[in-house]
Structures are given as C-alpha cells and as structure tokens.
Amino acid sequence: MSKIVIVGAGGHGKVLADTLMAGGKVVSGFLDSDPSLHGCHVMGLRVLGDDDAAQPGWLLVNGVGSVGRPLGRMAVDRLFAGRGFQFLTVIHPGAIVARETVLGEGCQIMAGAVLQPDAVLGRGVIVNTRAAVDHDCHLADFVHVAPGATLSGGVQVGEGSHVGTGAVVVEGIRIGSGCMVAAGAVVIDDVPDGAMVAGVPAKVKRR
C-alpha cells in the first residue's frame, strides 16, 4: 500500500490529517517547506522534510489551504504532478456525497459537507466544513467552497475561485474564474472573471 503524505503542515494540513485518520487511513507524515518544522511532530505525525523528501510511490494530499486565489495550492499540484505523483481524494466519513457526484483527482470534502446528485467537481476542489453543493453544480479546478457556504442547484464556478465562509449563491448563477465571493455574501447575479463581490445582495467591489 502506498504511503499517504500530506504536503503542508499548517492548519489545513492538520484538518486533512484528522479527516484521513477519521476515515481509517494511515498517514505517514507531512512535508513542509519550513525547515524549523523538520523532524517535529504535528498531530502526532512527523514532518519528514521539504518537497525534495518526497519518494516515488507516495500518495500525496495537498495540505496547502487558500483564502482568496489558490496560487499556493496550484503551485504544489503543478510541482508534484510534474514529477509523476498522484493526489488522493479525501472525503470525511461525516460528509454526504451523492452517488452520482463526480470528483476530480485530489478533491477534499470536509466534515458535514453535502454534495447532491450530478454535482461535478474538478481537480483539487475543496468543499469545506458544513458547506453545501446542490444538484447539477459544476466547480472547475481548484475552487474552494469555504465553511458553511451554500451553492444552490445548477451553479457554475470557474477555475481558482473562492466562495467565502457562509456565502450563499442562488440557483443557476455563473461565477467566473479567479473570483472572490466575500464571507456572508448573497450572490443573485452572475459574477465576471476576476471579480470580487461582497454584500447582500452581492455587488462587485474594487480590489
């Protein structure tokens, strides 16, 4: 069986370690670029070294979190995918995932999340704690649906967009690529690529 190693020993990495162990997985440790962590233990798991410590055959978990654009997560994915590594899809045993849901490589579905039928998630998508993605939603690569956010049916979210904590997106809305939906926003209109929206109802803000 392949060793499971988490890349990133920060807050998101700790949640992933707990999620994996809750599902009965054996986690072999972390990788982290911070040399002060090397040899230390996080969640009882050893930090094995930096990115260069990765060994062929390891199954990786992308433990880099994201607030706003997920550039760090995407960089980790590109680096290790380019070296031939695969990323494990992680699903908390307390999540509800419909049988017809499609999950791309390296998706992360956290505790209390709900995914309804015919939701399609791209590579490296995070559906965080207690977030809900309803039927027929399409989330492109590296979207992050933050804790407690709700996507109603038929919502489309473009690559690398972030839907903030507690935000609500009504049915049929399209959110473009590289967008930021602020925490608590209520989105009732389409959002163009690269925009930040905030408020109730959500309006485009200057970055």
User: In this predicted model, what pLDDT tens digit does every residue of 154-191 receive, in sequence order?
Assistant: 999 999 999 999 999 999 999 999 999 999 999 999 99
For residue 4, list its beta bridge partners. 27, 59
Task: Please say whether the beta carbons of 80 and 105 come within 8 A.
Answer: no
Is 135 part of the annotated catalytic residue set? yes
For residue 205, list its beta bridge partners. 196
Q: What are phi and psi of 132, to 5 degrees?
A: -130, 130
Q: What's the CATH number for 4-88?
A: 3.40.50.20
Alpha-carbon distance 73 to 167, whole Å? 22
Single-letter amino acid code for the residue at 100:
E
Alpha-carbon distance 6 to 59, whole Å? 9
Question: Which of 12, 135, 138, 162 is the catalytic position?
Answer: 135
Alpha-carbon distance 36 to 186, whole Å? 42
Alpha-carbon distance 87 to 84, whole Å? 10
CA-angle at 63, arms to 85 and 88, nearest 5°: 45
User: What homologous superfamily does CATH list for 89-196?
Assistant: Hexapeptide repeat proteins (2.160.10.10)
- With 80 as the cut, is the pLDDT of residue 113 above it? yes
Per-residue pLDDT, 2: 85
- With 90 as the cut, is the pLDDT of residue 66 above it? no
Alpha-carbon distance 44 to 187, whole Å? 41
Q: What is the pLDDT of residues 19-28, one digit of tens each?
A: 999 999 999 9
Residue extent(s) of CATH 2.160.10.10 domains in the chain? 89-196
Q: What is the pLDDT of residues 12-49, one digit of tens each?
A: 999 999 999 999 999 999 999 999 999 999 999 999 99
- Token duo for residue 137: 């939603």
Cα atoms found within 13 Å of the Cα of residue 65, Cβ hemisphere only: 14
| Average pLDDT value over all residues in the chain | 96
From residue 124, how far is each of 17, 75, 135, 141 by CA, in Å?
16, 12, 19, 6
DSSP string of 29-75, one letter each residue = EEE-S-GGGTT-EETTEEB--SGGG--TTPEEEE----SSS-HHHHH
- Token duo for residue 131: 């977030």
Residue extent(s) of CATH 3.40.50.20 domains in the chain? 4-88
Please state, for a pLDDT cut of 70, what percent of the chain lies above it. Answer: 99
